Structure 1
Amino acid sequence: MEFKGAMGGIYRLTEWITRFAGANLLWVLCASPFFFFTIVKILVLGQGMTNESLQMNWAIAVVAPFTFFPATAALFGVVRKWVMGDPDVPVFKTFFAGYKDNFKQSMLGGIFYTILFVVMYLDYTVYMTQFQNLQLIGIIMLILLLLLGVSMFNFFSMVVHYHMSIGLIIKNAVLITLIRPFRVFSTLLGAGLVTYIGAQYPALFFFFIGSIIAWFAFFNFYATFTKMQEQIEKMQADQADEEGTLEEPSSESRTELK
């Protein structure tokens, strides 16, 4: 029995490794132009080629909304199934179904986020390098960049979880980020830790890093969503009880006045 249990555990672990690796590889493949320019930027920056590095920044900004964002939304569509208790969905089919269904919204959201990232990054760079007496503003811009990054996780989660207009998705993604600071911190810390490990072992980026971060981010989002739903239902129930309590005395009062 112990042997069968151990073999069953190994089999389940192998299944999960295969799922994470498969989803991650599809994500890397569909976002390959974004990753190509990112890798080139790292290489030219390491060689001190500043002008080429700036050119790569613009190339990354151009391709991100059309490659990275749709691919990441598709990845979130897969991990959403896992988090919600459906681990046996076909990864390939689920990924590309999500890619097709969410392409337009993720692309529009990608344009919005890319413009914000570019503007805020330029502001951060200018304040930190050219205005020594205004570096506090640069630090504030860095904090806002981090919050924007976390709101992007919520954005992807909402794209695959709700049927909403793109404006509402972006608005609610930002609001959830602001009103749930603990979740913001834990998501940021978890993503940072996984990214750090991936930086030590670059091969992990191709097989696990993206899918692990997506799973963790959607897990946090879904926990927040579930808690908020419970709070709303509790508030509605309390309000209904209060209305019922208020109606009875008012009826008695009117009777007595007669």
Structure 2
Amino acid sequence: MEMRGLMGGFYKISEWIMRLSVTNVLWIICSIPFVFFIFSGLVISQNEGQLYSSLIWAAIVAPFTFFPATAALYAVVRKWIMGEVDVPLFKTFFRGYKENYVQSMFGGLLYTLLFVIMFVDYKVYLNELNNFQLLSYVFIGLIFLLFVSMFNFFSMMVHYHMKLFQLIKNAILITIGRPLRSLSTVIVSGGILFISFQFTFLIPFFMGSLIGVVSFYNFHLIYLKLKEQQERAEAEKQAEEEDVEISEDVRK
């Protein structure tokens, strides 16, 4: 029997707290090596050398831990956004982890390589080539674009069946083609990150899952809009073909 009123509201809130926290904890556990090196670099490191060392190790383990775990998190979030809010969390998470592991791993390797190349170019133009320092800001923009495209990359991975290069290409194109929606994802996700680091208990229980919900929700709105445009274009094309057929029949 479904509870209504105030108690029903509290029950639904508690259900969502449980869903978000369980999924986030699973994501953290499956990303432990990456989380460890990020934590070491940002919190424990006492000089720039230690920071860079930790970030290098984080980049090495990210394709094998962080990317598959995040793909699994998005697989769960996709179910929620599509209306399947009562899916079994453990089963859905680890099924998404297993099904997307290879593609997310190779995607992680490619993304990490691109990030490293752009960061090195940024440092070279900033510090070594004094006459071309302005170009360093171009690479900052490219790094930001690539980072934002990862939200769409994970969303598309769990929503479509595409080859890896198609996923990355389309993720970047959607990021560029829908700048307002991409910007809203970044702003809200940035807000979640800021609040999470102010109240650190949110990090292990809600941070990742909340960002996943926001980013996949925005992606799903883009998907529905593109689907609507495609259906409208197909309907217009079909109408034009019918008009041509009618014109040919009249001539006969």
What is the distance in 1 between the residues matched to 2:4 and 2:228?
A: 40
Structure 2: stretches of 5+ with no match in the other structure? none
Query: What is the Cα deviation at residue 244 of structure 1?
Result: 0.8
- Whether 1:164 and 2:165 are equivalent positions in the alignment is no
Q: Which has the larger radius of gyration?
A: 1
- Whether 1:19 and 2:10 are equivalent positions in the alignment is no
What is the distance in 2 between the residues matched to 1:131 and 1:38?
A: 30
Indicate which of 227, 239, 242 corresponds to 2:240. Answer: 242
In the TM superposition, 1:60-75 aligns within 5 A as: 60-75=58-73
Query: What is the Cα deviation at residue 129 of structure 1?
Result: 3.8
> Does the CA-based 8 Å contact 1:154-1:173 persist in structure 2?
yes
What is the distance in 2 between the residues matched to 1:20 and 1:144?
A: 32
Query: What is the Cα deviation at residue 6 of structure 1?
Result: 0.3
Moved more, 221-230 or 178-187: 178-187
- Whether 1:111 and 2:109 are equivalent positions in the alignment is yes
Moved more, 129-138 or 50-59: 129-138
Query: What is the Cα deviation at residue 146 of structure 1?
Result: 1.4
1:38 maps to what in 2? 38
Query: What is the Cα deviation at residue 252 of structure 1?
Result: 2.6
SS of structure 1 residue aligned to 2:83: coil
SS of structure 1 residue aligned to 2:244: helix
The CA deviation string for residues 162-188 of structure 1, in whole angstroms up to 9 with x for no partner, is 122112211211111121111111111
Indicate which of 204, 207, 224 corresponds to 2:205. Answer: 207
In the TM superposition, 1:70-89 aligns within 5 A as: 70-89=68-87
> Does the CA-based 8 Å contact 1:19-1:91 persist in structure 2?
yes
What is the distance in 2 between the residues matched to 1:132 and 1:210?
A: 39
In the TM superposition, 1:89-100 aligns within 5 A as: 89-100=87-98
- Whether 1:174 and 2:168 are equivalent positions in the alignment is no
Corresponding letter in the other structure for 1:241: A
What is the distance in 1 between the residues matched to 2:235 and 2:212?
A: 34
What is the distance in 1 between the residues matched to 2:131 and 2:194?
A: 32
Corresponding letter in the other structure for 2:100: N
What is the distance in 2 between the residues matched to 1:136 and 1:158?
A: 34
2:122 maps to what in 1? 124
The CA deviation string for residues 14-35 of structure 1, in whole angstroms up to 9 with x for no partner, is 0000100000000000001000
What is the distance in 1 between the residues matched to 2:124 and 2:193?
A: 26
Corresponding letter in the other structure for 1:228: L
The CA deviation string for residues 122-172 of structure 1, in whole angstroms up to 9 with x for no partner, is 222333344454333222211211111111111101111112211221121
1:53 maps to what in 2? 51
Percent of aligned pairs sharing the same letter? 47
SS of structure 1 residue aligned to 2:133: helix
Tell me the matched-pair count: 250
> Does the CA-based 8 Å contact 1:44-1:50 persist in structure 2?
no
1:219 maps to what in 2? 217
What is the distance in 2 between the residues matched to 1:141 and 1:212?
A: 29
What is the distance in 2 between the residues matched to 1:13 and 1:120?
A: 43
What is the distance in 2 between the residues matched to 1:125 and 1:44?
A: 24
Corresponding letter in the other structure for 1:151: S
**In 2 relative to 1, CA 126–201 (structure 1 residues): closer, same or farther, beyond 3 Å?**
farther
1:148 maps to what in 2? 146
Query: What is the Cα deviation at residue 203 of structure 1?
Result: 2.0
TM-score (norm 1): 0.92
What is the distance in 2 between the residues matched to 1:40 and 1:121?
A: 20
The CA deviation string for residues 178-225 of structure 1, in whole angstroms up to 9 with x for no partner, is 211111111111111111111212221101010000111100111100
The CA deviation string for residues 24-55 of structure 1, in whole angstroms up to 9 with x for no partner, is 0000000010000001111344x2x2222221
> Does the CA-based 8 Å contact 1:152-1:173 persist in structure 2?
yes
